[in-house]
Structure formats: structure tokens, C-alpha cells
């Protein structure tokens, strides 16, 4: 009895194997499936017959039947895969293969966003060279020889003898624009800057700044406050407290550092704001009379303000990123989020 069942089942498998070879479309394959694996298939009928066998025979037979069933399933899956592959090829209604498109780098996006805010206030966009001379980077900006910012350790010199360097800030653009144009002027100048800094969570030897400059008759500190307050509100899209604290820059007088109430903890104190509840976001001030003299403007007629902000820092605050290096690793998993 056992031998007979096994022989029959093996024949059944051979039959299935032979039949499936000729099948080329999914309709016929489905018929095959019903015949060989369906509920009413020969195989299932045999399963119900094994009750008449002895206990030991039952074990052997059950094992054999399951083995055959597995083999039939495998035949079916393989044929199904091949047929579907072929049918998909000719199905014109399936969606096409998506071409991966790139997107703007988060830093580029933030620059665009900031520039747009100032553009709406009537600022023009200006650019200057990344390779500068000592004169534009320091001297014209009222930075005397002995100023610590001129220290060779902070600046990448290209040719020290010829005083050619990589600009350490975007402020030289102020000088280049003022030499070329007469007031009134309102400019915003985004660009790359370079400093001999370590590459760590908050520093990078290459980073981006946005410089602003407004010069006209009768420009006052209140204009500076108004412009920056509007910018901060537009950029963070929420009400934040703004604090102007006295500071020092060689090219502005008076100078101020602008802090805002922490956008992450809302003044409760967190690691980003060093538990102070406030974040420094930019430096600014009224243009120093010496700077005006250097470009041939009469400081008795003209006044103006200038400011500079770090783009990476603003991007990190806006998107709550805790490591500046993410911007430069070129990891798509990071970049695709913006």
C-alpha cells in the first residue's frame, strides 16, 4: 500500500513537471496550479487516504507527500516569475522607471531663502572673489596690522609675500561695491569663506557667510534693528526675542552681536544654547568712518550699517542639526531630506 502510494505520487510529480514546461502565460499557469496544487488535486486526495496506513508508514508517507508538494510549489514559483517578467515587458500601462533627480544642497537652499527675504526689502545681490588681497580682506576694513584676525594661523595665505589669501569673511565685498558705486546702496553678498579652523561639530575650514550693507544719508542704528528683526522673524517664522549686545568689530562702530531666544528649547535651556536660553546668530554695527574714508565716501555726509551671518549656523538652527560636518559628507540619506 505504501509503495503504491509513493509510486503514484512520484508519477504525479513527473506529470506536473512535464506539463509546466510548455506553459507560457499566466492563465494556463493558473490552471496548472489548480490541477497540481489546488484543494481538489490528486495530491490532496492522497493526504486523506493515508489513514489506512500503519503509524510508521504514515510518517514515511507524510514526509514524502510534503516533499513532493514543496517541489511542485517551487516549480510553480519559478514559472510564475519567468512569465511575469515577460508579461511586464509588454505591459504599456505599468508606470515607467523613475529617473533619480538631484535636489539643491541644504546650504544653497538656506542662502536662497535668506537672499529672498532681503531681496523683498530692496537689497541687491552682490558677489566678490574668494581669493582676496590682504588690502580688501583686512586693511580697507580698518583692521590694523596687529589685529589678531590677521594672524597667519587663522588665514589661508596663497602667497604671503604678495599678500594674497583666501578671504576669511564676506566683508571685502563691501569695499569692492563701495569703490564702484556711490550711495544710496543696499546689498546682500553671500559666499564662501575660509579659515584655518579644525573640522569638528561646529567648525569647518570652509563655510558660508552672508554679508549685508546699507549706506545712505541719515541711516541710523534703528534702521539696522528694523531690518534684522524683520529678517529674523521671516527666517524662523516664529516670534523670537531679539537681543542686541555691545560687541567689537574693527569695521563697525558701534558694533553689536545679535542673539535670539533659543528656537529649540524656547529659553528653558538646552545643549544647543549652552543652557543660556539664547543663541548668537550674527554680528553687525554702523560702518566705521575709516572704512568710508578708505573708499572715498565722506563720513560726514553718509552713514550706514553692515552685518554678517554664518549660513551653516542658521541652517543648523532651522533644521536642528547638531553637527556642521553633515553638510559636507555628501551622504544622500542626509541630503535627500531637504
Instruction: Please enumerate in sequence order all residues whose Cβ is within 8 A of that of 208, keeping only pairs 6 or more positions apart, or say none.
Output: 107, 111, 190, 191, 192, 193, 310, 311, 312
Record the cell numbers describing residue 306, joined without a space.
553692515
Minimum CB separation from Zn ion for residue 277, in Å? 6
Name which of 247 and 272 has its Cβ closer to Zn ion: 272
Minimum CB separation from Zn ion for residue 261, in Å? 8
Which spans of this chain sit near Zn ion (rule: CB under 5 A)? 262, 264-265, 270, 273
Record the cell numbers describing residue 145, joined without a space.
596690522
Name which of 67 and 267 has its Cβ closer to Zn ion: 267
Cell 563697525 appears where?
252
Please state the three-class secondary structure of 73-89 as a single string.
HHHHHHHHHHHHHHHHH
Record the cell numbers describing residue 109, joined without a space.
537652499
Minimum CB separation from Zn ion for residue 264, in Å? 5
Name which of 154 and 267 has its Cβ closer to Zn ion: 267
Q: Would you say 155 and 168 are in contact if contact means Cβ atoms under 8 Å apart?
A: yes
Minimum CB separation from Zn ion for residue 320, in Å? 11
Residue nearest Zn ion (C-beta atom)? 262
Distance CA 187, CA 125 (A): 6
Minimum CB separation from Zn ion for residue 324, in Å? 18
Question: Beta strands 278-287 and 252-261: pairing type?
Answer: antiparallel
Q: Which of 76, 85, 84, 86 is nearest to 34 (CA)?
A: 76
Name which of 206 and 265 has its Cβ closer to Zn ion: 265
Question: Beta strands 303-310 and 131-133: pairing type?
Answer: unpaired
Distance CA 30, CA 82 (A): 14
Name which of 129 and 274 has its Cβ closer to Zn ion: 274
Name which of 130 and 280 has its Cβ closer to Zn ion: 280
Minimum CB separation from Zn ion for residue 222, in Å? 28
Amino acid at each position: 500500500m505504501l509503495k503504491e502510494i509513493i509510486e503514484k505520487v512520484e508519477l504525479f510529480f513527473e506529470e506536473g513537471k512535464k506539463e509546466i514546461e510548455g506553459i507560457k502565460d499566466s492563465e494556463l499557469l493558473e490552471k496548472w496550479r489548480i490541477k497540481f496544487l489546488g484543494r481538489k488535486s490528486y495530491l490532496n486526495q492522497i493526504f486523506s487516504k493515508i489513514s489506512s496506513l500503519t503509524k510508521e508508514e504514515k510518517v514515511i508517507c507524510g514526509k514524502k507527500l510534503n516533499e513532493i508538494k514543496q517541489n511542485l510549489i517551487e516549480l510553480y514559483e519559478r514559472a510564475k516569475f519567468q512569465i511575469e517578467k515577460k508579461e511586464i515587458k509588454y505591459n504599456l500601462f505599468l508606470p515607467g522607471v523613475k529617473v533619480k533627480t538631484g535636489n539643491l544642497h541644504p546650504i544653497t537652499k538656506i542662502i536662497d531663502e535668506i537672499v529672498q527675504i532681503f531681496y523683498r526689502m530692496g537689497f541687491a545681490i552682490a558677489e566678490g572673489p574668494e581669493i582676496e588681497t590682504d588690502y580688501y580682506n583686512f586693511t580697507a576694513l580698518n583692521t590694523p596690522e596687529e589685529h589678531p584676525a590677521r594672524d597667519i594661523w587663522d588665514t589661508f595665505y596663497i602667497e604671503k609675500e604678495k599678500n594674497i589669501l583666501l578671504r576669511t569673511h564676506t566683508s571685502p565685498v563691501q569695499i569692492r561695491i563701495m569703490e564702484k558705486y556711490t550711495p544710496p546702496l543696499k546689498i546682500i553678498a553671500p559666499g564662501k569663506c575660509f579659515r584655518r579652523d579644525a573640522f569638528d561639530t561646529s567648525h569647518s575650514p570652509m563655510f558660508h557667510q552672508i554679508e549685508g550693507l546699507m549706506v545712505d544719508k541719515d541711516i541710523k542704528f534703528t534702521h539696522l534693528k528694523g531690518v534684522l528683526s524683520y529678517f529674523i522673524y521671516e527666517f524662523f517664522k516664529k516670534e523670537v526675542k531679539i537681543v542686541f549686545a555691545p560687541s567689537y568689530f574693527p569695521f563697525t562702530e558701534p558694533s553689536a552681536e545679535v542673539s535670539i531666544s533659543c528656537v529649540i528649547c524656547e529659553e528653558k535651556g538646552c545643549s544647543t544654547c549652552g543652557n543660556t536660553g539664547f543663541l548668537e546668530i550674527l554680528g553687525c554695527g554702523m560702518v566705521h568712518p575709516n572704512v568710508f574714508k578708505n573708499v572715498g565716501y565722506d563720513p560726514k555726509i553718509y552713514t550706514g550699517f553692515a552685518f554678517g551671518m554664518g549660513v551653516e549656523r542658521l541652517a543648523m538652527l532651522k533644521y536642528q542639526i547638531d553637527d556642521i560636518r553633515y553638510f559636507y559628507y555628501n551622504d544622500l540619506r542626509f541630503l535627500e531630506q531637504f
